[in-house]
């Protein structure tokens, strides 16, 4: 467990897409360009190996390659967080070791999955991970993937004890997010450095208006300038301009639906659209996603291009 004094992590911290080559290796030059693209747009940190990074699809060698590439290319310009995504504690701990070895500044872990897990076991899981980790541990609340939600009282208890440095809330439950924020503020100094980041890229202005510290927007790969600008407008409390910018991004988010639900899953469509957009914008060389995902076809890609044009990005 780290003993370093922390300041709360804030701002725009996109989950970095993982460019692949057609033969399914990490496309290192594309990943380096993406890192630069994001940092040049003013992001405040990088979250590598998150769900949007296709972490669930990447073997460990690929994951290590991603960590090394991103840390090296970032070169300390912004903090780098790493998803340590696996089924249970000992497996997650090994990913944490890899992230620490690669030089990441923090790690992000979900509740256990595949195994059915009791709340007391979830709490034990995070305690064990923090014990093992040389960098701060952030909890990742992602019920859509892990089929259990993180309890707010548990989060704040672990925050107060220094076990958790923050949470990435992808629960989609904005009321719950707000209750967590108020409970944190009520809990005082002991949890004052606990970061609350939202993964909901369509309601960033709302989340920041409520007091969230930052945002981890998948769509931030495609339009990082949009999200850094939006964050600034919110900090300036220019809510009308923030709303307009957020609405432009909501319209752009329609790209995630280009694949429909008949011939592929929502994941294939969403991750495929992000990569298609990055390819169309010239940031990455190949819009390839990992198997068993279905690739977007020409018509679907053309629809992504139309939406990029509509958002002023092509």
In the complex, the residues that contact a copy of itself under the rule CB under 8 A are 24, 56-60, 62, 85, 87-91, 93-94, 112-118, 120-122, 124-125, 128, 144-147, 172-175, 178-179, 182, 200-203, 205-206, 209-210, 237, 239-240, 243, 247, 250-251, 253, 261, 263-268, 290-294
Q: Residue 140 catalytic?
A: yes
Q: Name which of 40 and 238 has its Cβ closer to a copy of itself.
A: 238
**Residue partners of 189: CB distance under 8 A and separation at least 6:** none
The least CB distance from residue 173 to a copy of itself, in Å, is 6
Cβ–Cβ < 8 Å for 136, 101: no
The torsion angle over the Cα atoms of residues 227, 86, 292 and 29, rounded to 10 degrees, is: 50
Q: Name which of 68 and 97 has its Cβ closer to a copy of itself.
A: 97
Question: Which entry of 57, 101, 138, 140 is annotated as an active-site residue?
Answer: 140
- How far is the C-alpha of 241 from the C-alpha of 234, rounded, in Å? 9
Q: Residue 227 catalytic?
A: no
Q: Residues comprising the binding site for pyruvate?
A: 52, 216
**End-to-end CA, the chain:** 45
Question: Distances from the Cα of 234 to the Cαs of 119, 231, 242, 299, in angstroms?
Answer: 35, 5, 6, 36
Q: Name which of 69 and 200 has its Cβ closer to a copy of itself.
A: 200
Q: Residues comprising the binding site?
A: 52, 216
The least CB distance from residue 79 to a copy of itself, in Å, is 25
Give kind and range of the element (H or E) at residue 81. Answer: strand 80-83
**Helix 174-187 vs helix 152-160: crossing angle, to nearest 10:** 30
Q: Name which of 74 and 171 has its Cβ closer to a copy of itself.
A: 171
The answer to whether the Cα torsion of 211, 8, 180, 206 is positive or negative is: positive
Q: Name which of 134 and 202 has its Cβ closer to a copy of itself.
A: 202
Half-sphere exposure of 135 (CA within 13 A, CB side): 23
The least CB distance from residue 289 to a copy of itself, in Å, is 11
Question: Which entry of 57, 101, 114, 168 is annotated as an active-site residue?
Answer: 168
The least CB distance from residue 111 to a copy of itself, in Å, is 9
Q: Which two tokens stand for residue 26?
A: 């990490």
The least CB distance from residue 127 to a copy of itself, in Å, is 8
Q: Which residues are catalytic?
A: 140, 168
């Amino acid at each position: 467990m780290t003993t370093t004094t922390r300041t709360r992590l804030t701002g725009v911290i996109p989950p970095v897409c993982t460019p692949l080559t057609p033969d399914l290796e990490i496309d290192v030059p594309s990943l380096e360009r993406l890192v630069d693209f994001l940092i040049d747009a003013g992001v405040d940190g990088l979250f590598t190996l998150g769900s949007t990074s296709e972490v669930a699809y990447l073997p460990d060698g690929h994951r290590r390659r991603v960590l090394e590439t991103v840390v090296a290319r970032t070169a300390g310009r912004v903090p780098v967080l790493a998803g340590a995504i696996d089924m249970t504690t000992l497996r997650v701990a090994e990913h944490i070791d890899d992230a620490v070895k690669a030089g990441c500044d923090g790690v992000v872990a979900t509740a256990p999955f595949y195994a059915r897990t009791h709340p007391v076991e979830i709490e034990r899981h995070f305690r064990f991970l923090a014990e093992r980790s040389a960098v701060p541990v952030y909890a990742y609340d992602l019920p859509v993937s892990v089929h259990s939600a993180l309890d707010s009282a548990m989060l704040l208890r672990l925050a107060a004890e220094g076990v958790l440095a923050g949470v990435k809330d992808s629960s989609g439950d904005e009321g719950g997010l707000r209750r967590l924020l108020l409970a944190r503020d009520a809990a005082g100094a002991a949890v004052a450095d606990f970061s609350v980041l939202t993964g909901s890229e369509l309601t960033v202005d709302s989340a920041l208006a409520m007091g969230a510290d930052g945002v981890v927007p998948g769509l931030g790969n495609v339009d990082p300038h949009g999200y850094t600008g939006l964050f600034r407008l919110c900090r300036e409390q220019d809510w009308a301009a923030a709303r307009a910018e957020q609405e432009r991004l909501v319209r752009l988010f329609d790209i995630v639906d280009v694949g429909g639900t008949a011939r592929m899953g929502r994941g294939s469509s969403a991750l495929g659209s992000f990569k298609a957009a990055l390819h169309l914008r010239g940031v990455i060389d190949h819009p390839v996603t990992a198997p068993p995902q279905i690739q977007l076809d020409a018509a679907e890609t053309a629809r992504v291009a139309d939406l990029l044009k509509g958002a002023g990005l092509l």
